[in-house]
Amino acid sequence: MPNTHVDYPTFKENSVQGRYVTNAEVLSFLEKLPVDFIRETIGYSVEGRPIKSVTWGKGTTKVLLWSQMHGNESTTTKALFDIINLLQAQSDISNILGQCTLKIIFILNPDGAEVYTRVNANAIDLNRDAQKRSQPESKVLRKTYDEFKPDFCLNLHGQRTIFNVGFTSKPATVSFLAPASNIERNISPSRELSMQLIVAMNEVLQKLIPGQVGRYDDAFNENCVGDAFQMLNTPTVLFEAGHYPGDYKRERTREFIFYALLTALKTLALDQVSNFDSKDYFTIPENNKLFFDVLIKNVQEVDKSTEKVRDVGILFVETLRNGEIEFVPKVAEIGNLKGFHGHKTYDCTIEEDLIELKKQPYWDNINT
């Protein structure tokens, strides 16, 4: 396993924080990069915003990374800034830049990033447009892939707070997927390499967030970019940046994505992918959707109109207001929610919980 011990706070790009990350942050960051970075505008979005990339390194192993294909999934973009800061400061680290050439697209969907939406300005999910390539952003990614001819692709995303690991009460802070290349989900040579790279990252992350790494559903969909590139025999790994307790701004998760990226790049630079057993990929538990942001148990204790067990599950709606993301509570489910978990849990049979619950802004919506 490659050594990934670094002092993360030293390399964190502190000028970029929180969930709202747009082209403005990318352009500001690019201005600070030295001349050995090849900075390009590789295309334009529906609304004419530039799609920026950098190419860096002199190695024969080509790695294509892209982030914010979904405009509201910004955690991995922040981690890319941090990785670049590290590699600038420690250019000899595992000889990554000597063995690899990196091509990084920071925000593939700048229109979606601007208004904090998953889809682009035409309301199209770019990760379902791999075959039609009906959108300019999809065409940009495929053109970049065809011209760069990567040996590995890292497809960087974010996932909602609803995901847990397996049937545990642990959140899926980071999840991975080695996409299938056919409906039978066979393990092709390229998919096996994807699995081995994930195993390498999982070994490191288990030391940092034990039990909080999940495996994403591998149902085949040729319209998804990862599946499409795997069909072209390019090992592709899907990253999903998820929830860490109390970390709604995803700053801790950002750190774990940083370590995952560093592990992947070191493993590739040291040509150690084959050292890992692809069978261990299947020991990573699959994700489930068993979390609410707030779970309120036994509401029937304060609502005497019913004797039935009544729990309330609340999810936060991420809402862009004045350049900040607010987390607006919304009741998502009412009923017997046994088996579900809350990132924050109240039990109305416990007096201290009830006192605290009545102070919350969503209390009036519950007690009606």
Query: What is the average pLDDT across 26-40?
Result: 94
Query: Percentage of the chain surpassing pLDDT 90?
Result: 91
Task: Pick the most confident of 33-37, 88-92, 120-124.
Answer: 120-124
326-355 pLDDT per residue, tens:
999 999 999 999 999 999 999 999 999 999
- Tell me if 322 is assigned to some domain: yes
Taking the C-alpha atoms of residue 198 and residue 206, their distance in angstroms, rounded to an integer, is 12
Taking the C-alpha atoms of residue 292 and residue 161, their distance in angstroms, rounded to an integer, is 7
- Tell me if 3 is assigned to some domain: no
* Full residue range of the structural domain in which residue 339 is found: 291-366
CATH of the domain at 131: 3.40.630.10
- Tell me if 2 is assigned to some domain: no
Q: What is the mean pLDDT of the chain?
A: 95
Query: What is the average pLDDT across 253-281?
Result: 98
Residue 305 has pLDDT above 70, yes or no: no
Residue 75 has pLDDT above 60, yes or no: yes
- Tell me if 145 is assigned to some domain: yes
Q: Which of 163, 160, 157, 159 lies closest to 288, judged by CA?
A: 163
Residue 368 has pLDDT above 70, yes or no: no
- Is 72 found in the same domain as 62? yes
- Is 55 found in the same domain as 77? yes
> What is the model's pLDDT at position 350?
96
Query: What is the average pLDDT across 62-79?
Result: 98
- Is 310 found in the same domain as 246? no
Domain end (from 289, 306, 325): 289
Residue 307 has pLDDT above 70, yes or no: no
- Is 117 found in the same domain as 69? yes
- Tell me if 194 is assigned to some domain: yes
How many domains is the chain built from? 2
- Is 317 found in the same domain as 270? no
* Contacts by 91-98, CB closer than 8 A, 24 or more apart: 93/6, 93/266, 94/2, 94/265, 94/266, 94/269, 94/270, 95/59, 95/269, 95/270, 96/57, 96/59, 96/265, 96/266, 96/268, 96/269, 97/56, 97/57, 97/58, 97/59, 98/57, 98/58, 98/59, 98/269
Domain end (from 222, 254, 289): 289
Residue 2 has pLDDT above 60, yes or no: no
181-195 pLDDT per residue, tens:
999 999 999 999 999
265-277 pLDDT per residue, tens:
999 999 999 999 9
> What is the model's pLDDT at position 304?
67
The residue written with tokens 């403005």 in the block is 24
Query: What is the average pLDDT across 49-73?
Result: 97
- Tell me if 1 is assigned to some domain: no
> What is the model's pLDDT at position 367?
60
Residue 94 has pLDDT above 70, yes or no: yes
